[in-house]
Structures are given as structure tokens and as C-alpha cells.
Structure 1
């Protein structure tokens, strides 16, 4: 009987060691993860702002209908433009902004009220 109790006690201790080790790591790794996430969001907002500003300062490009979203250096352009030249110019300008790794051009041509 004593031997069985020792085996059960040893088994319970063995099971609890990994849980205790993980519990000790969780707060610091969670805080580091949160800090990286907050920094990434801040960087994404800054990149979005920079691309919007560059689009708005480009002559011959009406950027009012263009939405910009950045995530980890990938910029997505969506919305409408009036010409194919504006569509290509918007992508070119976005690619030229420092920090942009790639551009997903989801812009469409505005066809007017009658499509």
C-alpha cells in the first residue's frame, strides 16, 4: 500500500513540474508578446499614415476614394479611382514609401452611376 502511495505521489509531482514551469514563463512571455503587438500596431498606423500622405501629395491622383491599410509592411489599397493611370500611380507611390514591403492593389475603376 505504501509503495502504491509513493508511486501515485511521484506521478503527481512529475505531472505538476511542467505546469509550474509554464506558469512561471507565462506572464513574461505574455508581456513581451503584448509589447511586440503594441509596437507592430503603432508601426502599422505610422505606415498607413505615410502612404496616405504620399498618395494625397501626388499630382494627378485623386486619392479621396482610396483606402489604405498596412499590416506588417504589407499595404493594401482598396476603393475606387477614375482611371487605370490613377490605379497604377497609386500602387507605384505606395511601393515607394519607406517601410512598405509589398502592395496588394485591390483598387477598382469607378464606372459612374450607370456602371
Structure 2
């Protein structure tokens, strides 16, 4: 189980690193990868891309903190607001996960639904 979580986390980090590199190369596009229409509004596709990019950036920031076991953490982003859910094995990691997410550029609000992972049988 831990090997699968570790593999999932490594894959997530690899995707995040690759996507950050792609976003960095698109210098002519709008900030955070948003597509802007001629009237100045953002398209639905551009908003989804920006949300995915923000989500990947938060995952990458969590991966940099080795004290956080983020194998069972899920992140959703919408318009700068980030919701984090899942479980962590240590109570101190709950506040650390929230603080790391708040420190990511582009994050305007963080909702944490992270809970403490209980051992089997309890």
C-alpha cells in the first residue's frame, strides 16, 4: 500500500514538474495559462487549464516538504480557491499542509478537510 502511494506521489510530482516547464515556455499567454477572449473575459477551457495548473503547483509545493505524507491528499482548485481533503498520519501535518497551500502564488483561499488517519481496527 505504501509502495503504491509512493508511486502515485512520484507520478504526480513528475506530472507537476513537466507541466510547470510547459507553462513557463508559453510566455505570450495570459497569466496562469488563462485564455482571454476578445472581450477580455476568460474562456471555460482557459479557466479549467488555470485550475489544473494551480492544482499541480500546490501538489509540487507539498512534494517539496518531505515531512508531509501526501499520498492520501486530494486537491481541487477553482478560481484561486483551493480545497484540500484526505488523511495524514500525524496531526501536525494538517496545519503544515494548509500553510504550504496558502504560500503558493495564485492561491486566494484554502479550505482544509484533511483529517487524521486512524490505524486499522479503530
So what's the TM-score if we normalise by structure 1? 0.68
Q: Which has the larger radius of gyration?
A: 1
Q: 1:40 aligns with which of 44, 47, 62?
A: 47
Distance, in Å, in 1 between the alignment partners of 2:80 and 2:90 is 26
Measured after TM superposition, the shift of residue 57 of structure 1 is: 1.1
Matches within 5 A, 1:1-115: 36-115=43-122
Deviant stretches of 4+, over 2 Å:
none
| Number of aligned residue pairs | 85
What is the CA deviation profile of residues 58-96 of structure 1, one whole-angstrom value per residue up to 9, with x for unaligned ones? Answer: 121111111111011110100100122111100000000
RMSD (Å) for aligned C-alpha atoms: 1.9
- Please list the CA deviations of residues 15-68 of structure 1 after superposition, one character each: whole Å capped at 9, or x if unmatched: xxxxxxxxxxxxxxxx97x95211111100000000001111112111111111
Q: Structure 2 length as normaliser, TM-score?
A: 0.64
Which segments of 5 or more consecutive residues in structure 2 lack a partner in the other structure? Answer: 1-37
